[in-house]
Amino acid sequence: MALLRSYGWVRCTDKYDLDCAQQYENRRFRKARHVMHSVVAIKQVPDTSNVRINPETGTLIREGVPTIINPYDIHAVEMAVRIKEQFGGTVTVISMGPPKAMESLVECIEQGADRAILISDRRFGAADTLATSYVLAHTIEAIQEAGPIDLLLFGKQAIDGDTGQVGPGVAARLQVPLISNAVMIESFDPVARKAVIHRKIEQGVEVIETSLPALLTVEKEIAAVKRAPLPNLINAARYKPELWTGDAPVPFSPELVGIKGSPTIVGKAFTPTPREAGAILSVAEKGLSKTVADVLAMIVQANVVTFPNNNGGKQ
């Protein structure tokens, strides 16, 4: 493994020496290193493809809307589990949300996570991205007191709010490098505490080297989600996620959470104003050629496009 070769000072002259050096390093690695630890933050969201709006009040009808793990977040969990498979260690999943979000955390245990923490308190309600990033960052700091964290993984955005701001916010609070829109971990070296990550940007794929710990917000390509193996399912069936509140086991500053900690408020919510419907022409009634001719005439009349090729050859 690449990580074992990262010590330049081990000189190997022959096969035997190499083996000795490897064994020595293996021992050294185990002794010198703490256990590899990744933390993944997830969100339980309403399945937005099933969302309905009350047309009178302009508010979301939550009853009967199925909830799911935010689709990007599952891939973040999967990535953490794969790193655990390669390097050992543990995966902790955290989520801020209502008690119902326990279900989503249990699903993450099925996926291969070892520990799950729900941070839930009425006072945390109506948090915007600043207050949410405080709660998650404070939780991560508390987890870190028991031992260092190597990697933080977030989905690139949640499909309900779609802001994509919580991951960057947590990285800023914890002062760790932010790698957003990550699509691949090319190499990962917990000993040298370095990783090479591919991230998707507008011009292509940017390959960056970062120190660890780092915070990645991930695209779905980062890791294809596998079916949960049976032992994980058995494990998960018995597992109860930890419940952290605003007071215990670590206190959160009341003025930084929920509405109080949120600089933004919703002034009003409304359903989008629809465009007006125009003419509907039926091929069955008008005939194909006439329908298309009429439509093209309307487009020309609306003066939205001059057919670029129409007169190109003539004028």
Partner 1 sequence: MSDQVETSSSRIWVFIEQEEGKPHPVSWELLGAAMRLSEELPGSVVEGVLLGHNVAGIAPQAYRYGAKRVYLIDDPLLETYRNLPYGHGVSKLVTTYKPEIFLFGATTLGRDLAGTIATRVQTGLTADCTELAIDPKQKILAATRPTFGGNLMATILCRKHRPQMATVRPRVLVMPEPLAEAEGELLRETLDLNESDIPVRRLRLIPGKERVNIEYADVIVAGGRGMGGPKGFKLLEELAESLGGVVGASRPVIDAGWLGHDHQVGQTGQTVRPKLYIAAGISGAVQHTVGMSGSNFILAINSDPKAPIFQMANVSIVGDLYKVIPELIRQVKGTRSGQ
Scanning residues 163 to 202, which ones bind partner 1 (CB under 8 A)?
163-169, 171-173, 177-181, 196, 198, 200-202
Candidate residues 209, 233, 247, 249; the one interacting with partner 1 per rule CB under 8 A: 209
- Token pair 């979000």: residue: 101
229 interacts with partner 1 by CB under 8 A: no
208 interacts with partner 1 by CB under 8 A: yes
Contact 211, 194 (CB under 8 A): yes
Distance CA 185, CA 201 (A): 15
Interactions with partner 1, residue window 23-42 (CB under 8 A): none
Say which DSSP state 250 is in: S
Measured from the CB atom, the residue of 26 and 310 that comes closer to partner 1 is 310
224 interacts with partner 1 by CB under 8 A: no
Other residues' Cβ atoms within 10 Å of the Cβ of residue 129: 19
Q: Which of 246, 182, 191, 247 is nearest to 220 (CA)?
A: 182
Contact 217, 133 (CB under 8 A): no
Q: Least separation, in Å, of the C-beta of 147 and partner 1?
A: 21
**Axis crossing angle, helix 129-144 with helix 166-174, rounded to the nearest 10:** 50
Q: In the numeric block, which tokens belong to residue 212?
A: 């660890």
184 forms beta bridges with 198
Contact 161, 97 (CB under 8 A): no
Q: Least separation, in Å, of the C-beta of 239 and partner 1?
A: 31
Interactions with partner 1, residue window 247-306 (CB under 8 A): 262-272, 274-284, 288-289, 291-293, 295-296, 298-299, 302, 304-305
307 interacts with partner 1 by CB under 8 A: yes
Q: Least separation, in Å, of the C-beta of 186 and partner 1?
A: 9
Measured from the CB atom, the residue of 13 and 309 that comes closer to partner 1 is 309
Candidate residues 146, 205, 233, 259; the one interacting with partner 1 per rule CB under 8 A: 205
Measured from the CB atom, the residue of 120 and 133 that comes closer to partner 1 is 133
148 interacts with partner 1 by CB under 8 A: no
Q: Least separation, in Å, of the C-beta of 299 and partner 1?
A: 6
Q: Residue 229, preceding bond cis, omega within 30 degrees? A: no
53 interacts with partner 1 by CB under 8 A: yes
Number of residues that bind partner 1 (CB under 8 A): 89
- Quick note: the x/- pattern for partner 1 over 70-109, rule CB under 8 A, is ----------------------------------------
Contact 43, 73 (CB under 8 A): yes
204 interacts with partner 1 by CB under 8 A: yes
Amino acid identity, position 230? L
Residue 28, φ and ψ in degrees, nearest 5: -60, -40
Element housing 205 (H / E): strand 204-211
Q: What are the b/e assignments for 81-119, b being 16+ CB within 10 Å?
A: bbbbeebebebbbbbbbeeebbebbbbbbbbbbbbbbbb
Q: Least separation, in Å, of the C-beta of 10 and partner 1?
A: 25
Q: Least separation, in Å, of the C-beta of 183 and partner 1?
A: 11
